[in-house]
Amino acid sequence: MGLWRRSGYPFSRSPLASASGWFTEYLLSTDGIVPALAEGERLNRIGIFMISNQSTDLLFEMSHSGRRCHRTPACDVPACEAKSLLPADAVADAPPSLPEIGEIDLIRHYMNLSKRNMSIDTNFYPLGSCTMKYNPKRHERLSNLPGMANLHPLQSDESCQGMLAMLWSMQNILGEIAGLDAVSLQPAAGAHGELAALLVAEAYFRDRKEHTRKRVLIPDSAHGTNPASAAIAGFDTVSIKSGTNGLVDLADLKSKIDDRTAVFMITNPNTIGLFESQIGEITKMIHDAGGLVYLDGANMNAIVGVTRPGDFGADMMHYNVHKTFTGPHGAGGPGSGPIAVRKMLAPYLPTPNVVKEGERYRLNYNQPKTIGRVRSFFGNIGILLRGYCYIRTLGPKGLRSMTENAVLNANYLLALVKDTLDVPHGNRCMHEFVASASKLKRAKRISAMEIAKRLLDFGYHAPTVYFPLVVPEALMIEPTETESKETLDAFAATLLKIVAEDAEFLQKAPHTLSISRPNDAKAFKEPVLRWKP
Question: Tens place of pLDDT for every residue, the chain, 533 residues?
Answer: 333 333 333 333 333 333 333 333 444 444 455 554 444 333 333 333 334 445 678 999 999 999 998 888 887 877 777 677 888 888 888 888 889 999 999 999 999 888 888 888 899 999 988 898 998 999 889 988 998 899 998 999 999 999 999 999 999 999 999 999 999 999 999 999 999 999 999 999 999 999 999 999 999 989 889 999 999 999 999 999 999 999 999 999 999 999 999 999 999 999 999 999 999 999 999 999 999 999 999 999 999 999 999 999 999 999 999 999 988 776 555 789 999 999 999 999 999 999 999 999 999 999 999 999 999 888 889 999 999 999 999 999 999 999 999 999 999 999 999 999 999 987 899 999 999 999 999 999 999 999 999 999 999 999 999 999 889 999 999 999 999 999 999 999 999 999 999 999 999 999 998 888 888 899 999 998 888 87
| CA 248 to centroid of chain Cα atoms | 25
Please answer whether residues 346 and 201 qualify as being in contact, where contact means their C-beta atoms are separated by less than 8 angstroms.
no
Please answer whether residues 127 and 461 qualify as being in contact, where contact means their C-beta atoms are separated by less than 8 angstroms.
yes
CATH T-level fold of 397-522:
Aspartate Aminotransferase, domain 1 (3.90.1150)
Q: Is the dihedral angle over the CA atoms 39, 45, 48, 49 positive or is it negative?
A: negative
Query: What is the β-pairing status of strands 433-436 and 360-364?
Result: unpaired
CB neighbour class for 435 (10 Å; exposed up to 12, middle 13-18, buried from 19)? buried
Euclidean distance between CA atoms 237 and 216, whole angstroms: 5
Please answer whether residues 141 and 386 qualify as being in contact, where contact means their C-beta atoms are separated by less than 8 angstroms.
no
Architecture label for domain 140-394: 3-Layer(aba) Sandwich (3.40)
CA 43-48-52 angle, to 5 degrees, is: 115
CB neighbour class for 431 (10 Å; exposed up to 12, middle 13-18, buried from 19)? buried
Query: pTM, whole model, 2 decimals?
Result: 0.85
CA 111-116-122 angle, to 5 degrees, is: 95
Query: What is the β-pairing status of strands 261-267 and 292-296?
Result: parallel
Please answer whether residues 363 and 203 qualify as being in contact, where contact means their C-beta atoms are separated by less than 8 angstroms.
no
Please answer whether residues 371 and 203 qualify as being in contact, where contact means their C-beta atoms are separated by less than 8 angstroms.
yes
Euclidean distance between CA atoms 68 and 139, whole angstroms: 36
Query: What is the β-pairing status of strands 27-29 and 32-34?
Result: antiparallel
**DSSP string computed for 408-438:** HHHHHHHHHHTTTSB-TT-S--SS-EEEE-H
Q: What's the one-letter identity of residue 28?
A: L
Euclidean distance between CA atoms 435 and 448, whole angstroms: 9
Q: Where are the domains of the chain?
A: 2-48, 140-394, 397-522
